[in-house]
Amino acid sequence: MELLKKEKYSKLIEPLKKVTINNLFARAVVEQRVSGKVYVDDCLNPSTYHVVHPYGMSLLFGNHTNHTFNKTFKQYALNSKKLRSSYEWMQAFPEKWDDVLSDLFEDCSVSSSKNTNNNFEGVIELNTRVNFRFNTHKYNEFKQNLPILAHAIVCTDRDLFHAMKGSVIPSNFWDSADDFIAEGVGFSLIAENQLACTAYSAFIFDYMLELGMETIPRFRGKGFAKHTCARLIDFCLENKYEPVWACRLENTGSFRLAQALGFEPTVEIPYYRLCN
């Protein structure tokens, strides 16, 4: 398992095109829209790839029969050499990888439903990631029943980019505010003269825009996320982007919000929480 230099990332462009699950975060790294890391089995002639986005998402794909790489990857997954300071959410493609990983992690994995004590020491937690498809008709029905908003929604500028705190925030998906302003888009809801919620482009590629969203804790439960995401979806429709949504099945808030906005679940895949 070798760390690939950035000038060699072009080796992944064609293999990544064969990945049919949502992989925009991996494209962002490979096409160097954002910082990240790429590990391979062989830097000169790679056939197995592990792409890590700075937010903590990763994609394992390519040749699944390389036993030397797989053995080393298990050490990486368990963070045996302390290569990272936080956990990592990983998905794999194609499905054959999941059989390999099931065997590889047999003695160190636990399903999220059974990990009630949140024990992550030497444990790979098994979750599910859901890809959605946007249904314009359902979204239009949602918009017809959306209550009138008494608060302002404004474009996310540099100050709001830096002001938004939380987990799924723009600064975790863009290297800088300048990059976000130049190539991304976002909308922020202001309540009580404070930043309450931001919906933004986590990734934009070709005709696709993947949504990211975060609400400040004290403003949750007020429907602000629906209004703010709707403003971003309207932007997508006005500019001929396909809205894209993906989340953990176990993240019930995000899962329900997606469906309320007109997104329909299409694919469920294993999602591995690697050790920190």
238 — pLDDT class (breaks 50, 70, 90)? very high
pLDDT at 127: 95
CA dihedral sign, ordered 167, 275, 89, 172: positive
Q: Do 81 and 191 reside in the same domain of the chain? A: no
Q: Do 87 and 209 reside in the same domain of the chain? A: no
Q: Do 262 and 140 reside in the same domain of the chain? A: yes
Closest CA to 151 of 190, 188, 186: 190
Q: Do 54 and 94 reside in the same domain of the chain? A: yes
Q: Do 178 and 260 reside in the same domain of the chain? A: yes
Segment 225-229 mean pLDDT? 97
Please state, in angstroms and rounded to a whole number, the distance separating the CA atoms of residues 172 and 165. Answer: 10
Domain end marker among 73, 107, 141: 107
pLDDT at 122: 78
Q: Within a 10 A sphere around the Cβ of 157, how many other Cβ atoms?
A: 14
pLDDT at 109: 87
- Residues of the domain holding 17: 2-107
pLDDT at 215: 97
Q: Do 13 and 97 reside in the same domain of the chain? A: yes
Segment 183-187 mean pLDDT? 97
Segment 122-149 mean pLDDT? 94
Quick check: is 127 in a domain?
no
Q: Within a 10 A sphere around the Cβ of 226, how many other Cβ atoms?
A: 20
- pLDDT tens, position by position, 31-56: 999 999 999 999 999 999 999 999 99
Quick check: is 198 in a domain?
yes
Evaluate if residue 121 carries a pLDDT over 80. Answer: no
DSSP state for residue 236 in the 8-state scheme: H
- pLDDT tens, position by position, 14-27: 999 999 999 999 99
pLDDT at 84: 83
What's 35's domain CATH number?
Answer: 3.40.630
Q: Do 49 and 168 reside in the same domain of the chain? A: no
Quick check: is 101 in a domain?
yes
Quick check: is 255 in a domain?
yes
How many domains, the chain? 2
Quick check: is 272 in a domain?
no
Quick check: is 201 in a domain?
yes
Domain end marker among 67, 90, 107: 107
Q: Do 7 and 74 reside in the same domain of the chain? A: yes
pLDDT at 118: 74
Q: Where are the alpha helices (DSSP H) in 36-192?
A: 67-77, 96-104, 136-144, 158-163, 177-183
Q: Within a 10 A sphere around the Cβ of 47, how many other Cβ atoms?
A: 15
Quick check: is 180 in a domain?
yes
Q: Do 55 and 150 reside in the same domain of the chain? A: no
Quick check: is 118 in a domain?
no
Q: Cα 175 to chain center, whole Å?
A: 15
pLDDT at 111: 87
User: Percent helix, strand, coil in the chain (nearest 5)?
Assistant: 35, 30, 35
Q: Do 68 and 172 reside in the same domain of the chain? A: no
First to last CA, the chain: 18
Q: Do 149 and 227 reside in the same domain of the chain? A: yes
This prediction's pTM: 0.93
Encode burial over 15-40: b for 16+ CB neighbours within 10 A, e otherwise.
bbeebebbbbbbbbbbeebbebbbbb
Q: Do 34 and 89 reside in the same domain of the chain? A: yes
Domain end marker among 92, 107, 122: 107
Complete DSSP assignment for 144-189: HTPPPP-SEEEE--HHHHHH--SSS-GGGTSS-HHHHHHH--EEEE
Closest CA to 142 of 246, 241, 254, 263: 263
pLDDT at 275: 85
Evaluate if residue 116 carries a pLDDT over 80. Answer: no
What's 201's domain CATH number?
Answer: 3.40.630.30
Evaluate if residue 268 carries a pLDDT over 80. Answer: yes
